[in-house]
């Protein structure tokens, strides 16, 4: 049987690049290892790929396509980025059309940028188009907007922008002509279906490398203090303030210590409180750390607290699985999809008053139940093994074959 042949569109693509570039590279490597022949069209000028694409594995041809750039001249950054990307896609479409005339290709998969708003120019080329996994349908929960100190206006505007995708011609054209649009969370899947998408499976945004999965979960020792870790870029929608509320509430009943890893624009708004909680022994504020320090913190933690209020996915939660680290998460959007009840306490959204108490109750429950934490740690490792890049490639190839059988 002839191998599957696919063209992957990867504006961002690098072995050691940013998150989207790295995910593209992991898809390429895993699909090639499973026998798929790939032509990868990428943009070597993409800033998130600055480290270089890397050495392609067998069965992979890399094609660096770069387009002319336009002068900025006061154009707002979002609009400038979109125009630049559309110019690049126009050139890629011409390149792909030539390649399709030269040899048989089973399908085109537009991996990155995985943007519903930007759409894909690879429609109507006579070859089935797959898009995703992509986000873009997540909104900040309206019940929590009023607790944002400085960014409520932005989040309200962003919510309206997400709603407006129904009138976006690039999005509508892509969704209606793509053979399959893979969403990275249920909210994006619902949005895609609302503008005409019919084949819209849901798949997590990221995976883990098999070599990075630990053989045993993090130790759940008999220490009387429950050690939590919170890690993220400090932005208001990541809800560090809510995490600190939960820690203070839980500390009335059990001994806990929260290690905070991260930095960003929301740090000044939390600086005094972090300093106060650190002086009381409830928090260790380490800021941004290198990977060695991050690994040390993970290895010494009992539970991850991840309570972001808006997220397509969550790299920290994937890290938690490979460490065998139980988690407490808000049950919505990407984190709600990633986390399973076998290894995470999933907190339903309610309102800004009840949610910190719900998080605190979960912290207290885990602090008092070591055996449960041990079982959750083993379940987290099992989740990681089910979400390796090899397993994800097997699943995606199955989706490819089902799609082609229906054409």
Residue scoring higher pLDDT (44 or 302): 302
Query: Cα–Cα distances in Å, from 209 out to 27, 106, 116, 388, 396?
Result: 11, 27, 27, 6, 16
What's the average model confidence in pLDDT over 372-382?
98
What own/partner pairs with CB < 8 Å and gap ≥ 24 does 163-171 have?
Answer: 163/139, 165/116, 165/117, 165/136, 165/137, 165/191, 165/195, 166/191, 166/194, 166/195, 168/116, 168/117, 168/119, 170/86, 170/117, 170/118, 170/119, 171/116, 171/117, 171/119, 171/195
pLDDT higher than 70, residue 50: no
Confidence label for 49 from pLDDT (cuts 50, 70 and 90)? low
Please say whether the beta carbons of 129 and 179 come within 8 A.
Answer: yes
pLDDT higher than 80, residue 76: yes
- 42's tokens: 């990428």
pLDDT higher than 90, residue 102: yes
Global pTM value: 0.89
pLDDT higher than 60, residue 363: yes
Domains of the chain with bracketed CATH: 5-135+168-207+388-406 (3.40.50.2000), 210-386 (3.40.50.2000)
What's the average model confidence in pLDDT over 392-406?
95
pLDDT of residue 45: 81
Confidence label for 215 from pLDDT (cuts 50, 70 and 90)? very high
- 190's tokens: 């619902």
To which residue do tokens 């693509």 refer? 13
Of the candidates 103, 85, 98, the residue with the CA atom closest to the CA atom of residue 125: 98
Confidence label for 51 from pLDDT (cuts 50, 70 and 90)? low
**Cis preceding-peptide flag for 113 (omega within 30 of 0):** yes
pLDDT of residue 80: 79
Burial degree of 152 (CB within 10 A; 0-12, 13-18, 19+): middle
What's the average model confidence in pLDDT over 91-96?
95
How far, in Å, CA of 117 to CA of 138, rounded?
Answer: 13
pLDDT higher than 80, residue 54: no
Residue 21 CB neighbour total at 10 angstroms = 25
How far, in Å, CA of 396 to CA of 131, rounded?
Answer: 12
Q: How many CA atoms lie within 13 A of 70 on its CB side?
A: 16
- 181's tokens: 């649009």
Of the candidates 89, 109, 7, the residue with the CA atom closest to the CA atom of residue 43: 89
Average predicted confidence (pLDDT) for the chain: 92
Burial degree of 391 (CB within 10 A; 0-12, 13-18, 19+): middle
Tell me if residue 177 falls in helix, strand or coil. helix
Tell me if residue 230 falls in helix, strand or coil. strand
How far, in Å, CA of 339 to CA of 341, rounded?
Answer: 7
206 φ/ψ angles, rounded to the nearest 5 degrees: -140, 165
Residue scoring higher pLDDT (149 or 69): 149
What's the average model confidence in pLDDT over 201-221?
94
What's the average model confidence in pLDDT over 217-236?
93
Query: Cα–Cα distances in Å, from 256 out to 38, 77, 282, 345?
Result: 50, 43, 6, 17
What's the average model confidence in pLDDT over 268-276?
95
Confidence label for 1 from pLDDT (cuts 50, 70 and 90)? low
Confidence label for 19 from pLDDT (cuts 50, 70 and 90)? confident
Residue scoring higher pLDDT (48 or 153): 153
């Amino acid at each position: 049987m002839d191998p599957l042949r696919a063209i992957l569109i990867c504006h961002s693509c690098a072995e050691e690049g940013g998150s989207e570039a790295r995910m593209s590279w992991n898809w390429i490597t895993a699909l090639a290892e499973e026998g798929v022949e790939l032509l990868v069209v990428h943009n070597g000028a993409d800033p998130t790929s600055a480290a270089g694409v890397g050495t392609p594995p067998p069965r992979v041809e890399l094609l660096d396509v770069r387009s002319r750039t336009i002068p900025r001249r006061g154009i707002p950054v979002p609009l400038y980025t979109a125009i630049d990307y559309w110019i690049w896609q126009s050139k890629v479409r011409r390149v792909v059309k030539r390649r399709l005339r030269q040899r048989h290709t089973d399908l085109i998969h537009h991996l990155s940028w995985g943007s519903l708003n930007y759409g894909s120019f690879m429609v109507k080329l006579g070859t089935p188009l797959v898009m995703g996994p992509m986000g873009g349908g997540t909104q900040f929960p309206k019940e929590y907007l009023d607790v944002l100190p400085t960014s409520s206006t932005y989040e309200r505007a962003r919510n309206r922008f997400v709603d407006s995708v129904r009138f976006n011609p690039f999005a509508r054209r892509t969704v209606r002509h793509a053979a399959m649009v893979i969403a990275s969370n249920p909210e994006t899947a619902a949005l895609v279906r609302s503008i005409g998408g019919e084949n819209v499976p849901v798949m997590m945004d990221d995976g883990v490398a098999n070599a990075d999965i630990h053989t045993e979960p993090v130790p759940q020792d008999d220490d009387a203090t429950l050690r939590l870790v919170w890690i993220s870029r400090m932005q208001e929608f990541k809800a560090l303030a809510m995490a600190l509320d939960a820690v203070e509430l839980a500390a009335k009943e059990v001994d806990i210590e929260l290690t905070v890893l991260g930095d960003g624009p929301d740090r000044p708004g939390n600086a005094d409180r972090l300093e106060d909680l650190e002086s009381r022994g409830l928090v260790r504020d380490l800021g941004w750390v290198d990977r060695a320090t991050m690994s040390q913190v993970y290895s010494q933690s009992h539970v991850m607290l991840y309570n972001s209020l808006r997220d397509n996915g969550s790299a920290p939660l994937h890290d938690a699985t490979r460490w065998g680290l139980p988690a407490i998460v808000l049950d919505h959007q990407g984190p709600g999809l990633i986390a399973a009840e076998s290894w995470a306490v999933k907190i339903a959204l309610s309102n800004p008053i009840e949610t910190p108490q719900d998080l605190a109750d979960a912290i207290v429950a885990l602090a008092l139940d070591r055996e449960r934490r041990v079982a959750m740690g083993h379940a987290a490792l099992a989740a990681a093994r089910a979400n390796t890049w090899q397993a994800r490639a097997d699943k995606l190839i199955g989706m490819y074959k089902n799609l082609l059988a229906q054409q």
